[in-house]
């Protein structure tokens, strides 16, 4: 009888052992399930970012339609534009002027960015609430030029801010800050491309101009 009882107790799992096994299975399931969840989240953030840039493209074209088909960066302050701000470190005025067309500052923050959206376009609006650069010299006559895009641009592996001039002989790329070494660009013709670093470098050389000036927040 004693040997039979001993065999029974050693052949099955104790309650503690069962709890441990269930816990380990749960941990492994959480790890494996989190991978597709992260991928889905990144994909959703990328799509949201593309939609934000398209909304900005619509807004700036609407503004231009009421101002002689010019973007604000190409018009002086006396003519209702923001040209003079290109000489300052502040980028937000080029977006602030579109407040009526954009309606909400939330579209100026990418979901993958660590920055938070502003609560309004007046007292709470500044460069720290922007995820996107603006093309300082963008012109509707050149559809290949950069109109706006993700701010995580690097030159020679260094993150950039302020008024940055990109030339064809520079090593341009994306940082990991927003889309993990990738980024989105809105072109003057209204379309948005999701770009790798290699593709970004190719396009910098094919915008139709020798230099591309970007105002990066």
Predicted confidence band at 34 (pLDDT cuts at 50, 70, 90)? low
Question: What burial class does residue 106 get, using C-beta atoms within 10 Å of its C-beta: 0-12 exposed, 13-18 middle, 19+ buried?
Answer: middle
Predicted confidence band at 206 (pLDDT cuts at 50, 70, 90)? confident
> Three-state SS for 104?
coil
Percentage of residues in the chain having pLDDT higher than 90:
70
Tell me the C-alpha distance between 184 and 201, whole Å: 13
The string of DSSP letters for 108-150 reads GS-TTSSS---S-SSTT-SGGG--EEEETT--TT-TTSEEEEE
**Is it the case that residue 12 has pLDDT exceeding 70?**
no
- For the stretch 61-71, pLDDT in tens is 999 999 999 99
Q: Supply the pLDDT for residue 105.
A: 97
The string of DSSP letters for 31-46 reads HHHHHHHHHHHHHHHH
Question: What burial class does residue 148 get, using C-beta atoms within 10 Å of its C-beta: 0-12 exposed, 13-18 middle, 19+ buried?
Answer: buried
Tell me the C-alpha distance between 102 and 56, whole Å: 7
The secondary structure element, H or E, covering residue 206 is none
**Is it the case that residue 23 has pLDDT exceeding 60?**
no
Full-prediction pTM beyond 0.75?
yes
Q: Supply the pLDDT for residue 45.
A: 84
Tell me the C-alpha distance between 9 and 142, whole Å: 81
- State mean pLDDT over 109-120: 96
Q: Which of 180, 183, 191, 179 is nearest to 214 (CA)?
A: 183
55 vs 22, more confident:
55
């Amino acid at each position: 009888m004693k040997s039979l009882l001993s065999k029974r107790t050693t052949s099955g799992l104790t309650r503690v052992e069962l709890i441990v096994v269930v816990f380990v299975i749960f941990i492994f399931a959480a790890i494996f399930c989190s991978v597709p969840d992260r991928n889905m989240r990144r994909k959703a953030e990328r799509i949201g970012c593309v939609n934000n840039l398209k909304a900005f493209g619509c807004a700036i074209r609407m503004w231009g339609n009421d101002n002689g088909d010019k973007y604000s960066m190409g018009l002086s302050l006396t003519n209702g534009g923001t040209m003079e701000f290109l000489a300052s470190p502040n980028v937000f005025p080029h977006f602030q002027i579109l407040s009526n067309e954009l309606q909400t500052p939330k579209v100026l923050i990418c979901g993958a960015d660590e920055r938070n959206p502003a609560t309004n376009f007046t007292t709470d609006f500044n460069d720290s609430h922007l995820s996107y650069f603006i093309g300082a010299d963008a012109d509707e006559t050149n559809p290949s030029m950069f109109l706006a895009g993700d701010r995580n641009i690097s030159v020679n592996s260094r993150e950039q801010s302020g008024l940055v001039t990109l030339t064809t002989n520079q090593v341009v790329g994306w940082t990991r800050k927003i889309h993990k070494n990738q980024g989105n660009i809105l072109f003057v013709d209204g379309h948005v491309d999701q770009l790798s670093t290699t593709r970004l470098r190719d396009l910098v050389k094919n915008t139709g101009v020798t230099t591309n000036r970007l105002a990066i927040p």
